[in-house]
Amino acid sequence: YTVYPDCDVITRRLCIKNGADAPVTLEKALSYQLDLPGCDYVLSTFPGAWARERHEACVPLTPGAHVFGSTTGASSAFCNPFFMLCAPDATEFNGDAYGFNLGYSRSHMGCVEVSPWGKTRVAAGIQPEGFAWTLAPGERFETPEAVLTFSRAGKNGMSANLHAFVQEHIVRGKWAKKDRPVLLNNWEATHCDFDEARLKQLFDGARQTGAELFLLDDGWFGNGPYSRDDDKHGLGDWEPSTKKLPRGLSYIAREALKRKVGFGIWLEPEMVNPQSELYQKHPDWIITQPKREPILGRHQEILDLTRPEVQAYEWDIIDRTLRPNPDITYVKWDCNRYITQPGSSYLQSADQSHLWIDYNWALYRLMDRFAKGFPNVMAMLCAGGSGRVDYGAMPYFHSFWPSDNTDPLGRIKIQWGFSHFFPANTISAHVTRMGKRHLKMAIDVALSGAFGIDLALDKATPEERAQIADAVKLYKERIRPLVMRGELYRLVSPYESPLASLSYVSTDKKQAVVYLYQTKDGREARVKLGGLDAGKKYRIEEVSLSKGMASRFPANGQVLTGAELMTEGLENPLDAQFESAVLMIETL
C-alpha cells in the first residue's frame, strides 16, 4: 500500500514470490480486493468504441457479479480501467463516491460482486483470460498498481482527488503544472501529402493565428518504393523523406522557429508495414502466430518488444530522430492497432502466455528511457485515439489524444467522460472541420481542454482565420490559466439534459470560466455554478462571441454574488442544438 494524503488516494499492488522449490504457474493475479458494507451502490463504467470513447454507463448493483474489462491487449477504447461506485443519492457535489483505477496498459478486468448477504466486493487487475505466468523458485511477480479514492463530496469531489493525484504524482517532470502550448497539427490539412513549401504555409498560418507549436504528423519518413505517401508504406523506416523534406528535419524545425513557432513530430515506434525495408529485412520481428496468415490492422503489424534487438531498434528510432534535431520539442507517440494474433518467435513455447506482460514492461522501459533521455521534450500519448490512455502510460507523457472523433458534438461526452479521472490540462482538444459544425461550437468545445487546431488555415476564409486567432488570444490571455490549474466543476450533465455545462474555478476563487453546449434542442432554464466564494461579487461576461454577435445572456455585464450564482444560478437562453457559449466570471 502507498498512501497519498495530499490527494486522498491509496494505491495498492500485490507482490507474489515463489518460496517453493518447484515452479508455480499463476492463473490469476489481481491488484486489490476491497469489501464494502452494504450493496446500495450505482456502478459507473466508461465503455465505448473507436471514435465513441468514454461514454458513461450507470447501473444499480444487483445480486451476483458485474464483470467488465478489456481483452484486446490494450487498456482500450472499449473499456477503460476506471470505474466508480456511488451512493444512489449521490450527485456531482454530494454523497459518497468511490473511484477505482489501474496503472496498466494491457488487458484488464474489474469485478463488482454483491453477495447473498448484501455485501459488496470490488476487485480488479490483469485480465485473467489468456493470463498464465510461471514463477521459478525464488522469482517474484508484481501486479500493476491500482489507484483507489473516496469522497463524501460526490462525483466531482472524487474527480478532484484523482486530478490532484495525476498532477502531483503521475504527469512527469517540469511540465506537470505548466501551460500546454496551443498546437497546430497538419493531419487534417494534408494527411501524408506535403512538402517543405506546404509546411511553411502552415507555419505562417500558425504564427498569424497565435499558435505556439506546430506538430508534423504522419508521412514525414520513408524513401523509394517505401515512401510514406499513405498508411500502407514505410512504417518502420524512420529516415526523413528526401522527396518531402530534402533538407531534413533540422531545417524544417528551424523554419518553424524563424516564425516563432515550436516544432513537434509524430512517431509510432512499435509498428511496421509489410511494405517497408524493415519488414523485408526482419519478418521475424513481428508479433504473430506460426502457420497462420498474419492479420493486418491499418495495414500494419506490431513489432515484438520482448526481443532485445527490437527494444534496441525502437530506442534507436527515438534517439536518432530527436538527438540530432534539438529543435524538436514535442512528440506525439501513436499506436494504431491492437494485438490480434499473440505469438512471439523469440519467447520459448512454454512462455508464450508471458508475451502480453513482457511487452508491457518493455514498453514502459522504452517510454521511461525516452522521458529521462529527453526531459525537455513535451509528449502527447495517442493510440488511435484513447486506446492507451491510462495511469500506467501517462507517467511518461504530459497530455493525451482522447479520440479521433473531433466532431465537437461527439467530443462533449468523450471529454466529459475523461474529466472524471484526468484533469483538463492533459486532455488535448482541437478545432477541426469534422461534423461540419459551426466553427463557434468547435472552438468553444476545444477551449475547455488543451486547446489546439487541426485544419488547413490557408484554406480558411479571412473571417474564419480571424475567429480562430481571436479564440487563441482569448485562450492564452484569459482561459488557459483556469484550464491548466483551475478546479473542475461539472454543472449540467449531457446524460440528463439537452445542455452540457462545466466550469473551471481558480484556486483563489477570484475567476472562473463556464462552458455551455446544447447537444439537443431543449432548454435548461438556469445553471447553478459551483466552487465560488459565496461572499465575493463577480462580474459576468460572455466571451468567444463571433464578430458582430451580441450576448443573449441576461446576466452579461451584471455583477452577482457567489451565493447568488451558486444557489439561484444563471438564466440560460440557449435552446437549439449546436448553440454554445463561454462565460468569464471575475471578482471586482
User: How far is residue 303's CA from residue 168's CA, in Å, rounded to a whole number?
Assistant: 33
User: How far is residue 93's CA from residue 491's CA, in Å, rounded to a whole number?
Assistant: 9
User: How far is residue 137's CA from residue 18's CA, in Å, rounded to a whole number?
Assistant: 5
Q: Is the CA virtual torsion 439, 445, 451, 452 positive or negative?
A: negative
Under 8 Å between Cβ of 506 and 587 = no
Between the alpha carbon of residue 234 and those of residues 83, 243, 268, 310, the distances in Å are: 39, 13, 11, 17
CB contact set of 587 (below 8 Å; sequence gap of 6+): 509, 510, 511, 533, 536, 537, 538, 539
Taking the CB of residue 299, how many other CB atoms lie within 10 A of it? 16
User: How far is residue 370's CA from residue 394's CA, in Å, rounded to a whole number?
Assistant: 13
Give residue 509's identity as a one-letter amino acid code: K
For residue 62, the surrounding DSSP H or E stretch is: none
For helices 408-418 and 439-446, give the axis angle rounded to 10 degrees.
Answer: 10
User: How far is residue 340's CA from residue 343's CA, in Å, rounded to a whole number?
Assistant: 9
Catalytic residues: 334, 404
CB contact set of 333 (below 8 Å; sequence gap of 6+): 267, 268, 269, 367, 379, 380, 381, 382, 397
User: How far is residue 435's CA from residue 295's CA, in Å, rounded to a whole number?
Assistant: 31
Q: What are phi and psi of 106, to 5 degrees?
A: -125, -170
User: How far is residue 494's CA from residue 408's CA, in Å, rounded to a whole number?
Assistant: 13
Which stretches of 514-576 are DSSP H helices? 562-567
Q: Is the CA virtual torsion 182, 187, 189, 193 positive or negative?
A: positive
Between the alpha carbon of residue 106 and those of residues 101, 337, 360, the distances in Å are: 13, 13, 7
Give residue 136's identity as a one-letter amino acid code: A
42, β-bridge pairs: 60, 86
User: How far is residue 355's CA from residue 302's CA, in Å, rounded to a whole number?
Assistant: 12
Among candidates 177, 173, 166, which has minimal Cα distance to 391? Answer: 166
Taking the CB of residue 330, how many other CB atoms lie within 10 A of it? 22
DSSP state of 106: S
For residue 99, the surrounding DSSP H or E stretch is: strand 97-102
For helices 462-474 and 196-209, give the axis angle rounded to 10 degrees.
Answer: 60
